Structure 1
Amino acid sequence: MSTEPLAEAPRRQARNSAAFWAATGRSRGHEVIHRPGYLAVAGDARAGLRILIQEPGLDAAAVAEIDGLVAAATGPVDIEDPFSATELGHLGLRHWRMPVMLRPPGPVAAPAMEVLRATDEKDLHAAERAVIAGFELNRFLPHRDGELFPPALIAEPGVDVFVARLDGEVAGACVTVVDGGFGSYYWVGTPPAFRSRGVGRAVMLGSLAQLPEVPVTLTASRLGRPLYESLGFHAADDSTWYSST
């Protein structure tokens, strides 16, 4: 893989994350705030505040605006900086780094189980439950149908939710977003009861088969990185995440 596309992966991830969270905010009826250096979605007490930094090294004025948004947040706070270039340690949030990864366009093998695009509320609600359990999103418990993935989300251009079925049950899910000629992944989750059974690989293969002609980015956890590398993803650079939870 050439170094130029890999070097662009953090910026591509930043742009795609902004597109995804703006779509999520609109579908939930939350405030979406567009600024030159970042995008923010100000949600309710359960969804919280999400900030997506769009440029490396925000200036003092932009950081001051972010400080104000964090201070006014009514719920949890999550901030994503794909460039790891803006210092936000003064906010006192837990922070860590994860690699932004890029996969060039190309075919994939068939999944070992059924993977389908969610097209109705039943599958969408099942996908929600899989992601909430897989990521231990306790902020969304007790579960409320349509809160994490509102039906309006899959009507947003370029946004798809996929589910993997094992023994007749939804065993895993993910979200893909195609925007500006690039795809990205979000919420690749498998509940504990279905882990170590190939569900994560299957949901990735089944959804990647729908994206054969576009480069794809994602931000990988430590546990997820080996799976993504085996699927042809390459690490580009580290993204810094901040969270109040």
Structure 2
Amino acid sequence: MSTPSTHAVPAGPTASLRLAVRNSAAFWTALARTRGSELIRRPGFLASDGRERGGLRILLLSPDPGPDDLAELTDLARRRLSDGVIVEDPFGSVDMSALGLAPGRLPIMIRHPGPLPAPPAVEITHVETTAQLRTAENIVVHGFPLTNFQPYRPGDAFSEDLLGHPGVDLFLAARDGVPAGACMTVVDGTVGGTYWVTTLPGHRSRGVGRALMHAVLAHLGDLPATLTAAKAGKPLYDSLGFDTITDATWWM
């Protein structure tokens, strides 16, 4: 479990994007290490190779990757197309269309610390046990969804090593004692990132996502919070004071 503390936070969209990208790299690094995936880090990109179940995930770390880095990431993607490839480009600096990948656009958002309205009356639990981890994993695999990890096999998406991993925390939401939602946070230095905010279909529009985000923001304390928003979730994040830094390109 991470413990937020006071830090000086850079201002401006460029600095905010740098924070978000660094946190995303910390997120994929933690997942790769706990899953036993191959991790490749270069100045211009980070790649996590989760083989057949996890696929290949490439994150651009620079708006101007060098020619060697660009050639290597393109070759990695080409060789793994059949297993599923996602290239996340926060800078809009690469073109993967020659590999048959199609671009999508998702906003990267940031919220600086500030007051929040009262949270909804939804029970939120910090994940501390293997049983809670499996419940959170099942919710995210089926509700987000993580199609590469279906059919669901316990431990494939969320290794038990995530429990106690530095900077990584998971949260569960329940309505009337029934598991309803989950999410993950990663704290990396001066920023906290939120990932896989998920509400199961039967519990949507009942305040579950909002309650999870209240718990996340309270947990992060005086740290800025970053996330990449799906279209369905953006109105919630707007209402909680998140601002859009830029629209990232996701090649899939």
TM-score normalised per structure 2: 0.91
Q: What corresponds to 2:210 in structure 1?
A: 201
Find the aligned partners of 1:178 and 1:132 in 2 and give their Cα distance. 22
Moved over 4 A (4+): none
Deviation sequence 1:139-195 (CA, Å, 0-9, x none):
211211111111112322111111111121221111111102101111111121211
Identity across matched positions, percent: 47
RMSD of equivalent CA atoms: 1.7
**Structure 1 regions of 5+ residues with no counterpart?**
none
Q: 1:132 aligned to 2:141?
A: yes
**Partners of 1:82 and 1:238 within 8 A in 2:** yes
For residue 45 of structure 1, give the secondary structure of its aligned residue in structure 2.
Answer: helix
1:236 to partner: Cα distance? 1.2
Q: 1:31 aligned to 2:38?
A: yes
Q: What corresponds to 2:3 in structure 1?
A: none
Q: 1:142 aligned to 2:151?
A: yes
Find the aligned partners of 1:110 and 1:190 in 2 and give their Cα distance. 16
For residue 13 of structure 1, give the secondary structure of its aligned residue in structure 2.
Answer: helix
Find the aligned partners of 1:153 and 1:76 in 2 and give their Cα distance. 24
Q: What corresponds to 1:115 in structure 2?
A: 124
One-letter amino acid of the structure 1 residue matched with residue 110 of structure 2: L
For residue 4 of structure 1, give the secondary structure of its aligned residue in structure 2.
Answer: coil
Q: 1:87 aligned to 2:102?
A: no
**Partners of 2:55 and 2:148 within 8 A in 1:** no
Find the aligned partners of 1:114 and 1:231 in 2 and give their Cα distance. 19
One-letter amino acid of the structure 2 residue matched with residue 52 of structure 1: L
One-letter amino acid of the structure 1 residue matched with residue 58 of structure 2: I
1:3 to partner: Cα distance? 9.8
TM-score normalised per structure 1: 0.93
**Partners of 2:101 and 2:251 within 8 A in 1:** yes
Find the aligned partners of 2:194 and 2:58 in 1 and give their Cα distance. 17
**Structure 2 regions of 5+ residues with no counterpart?**
1-8
Q: 1:99 aligned to 2:107?
A: yes
1:61 to partner: Cα distance? 2.0
Q: What corresponds to 1:54 in structure 2?
A: 61
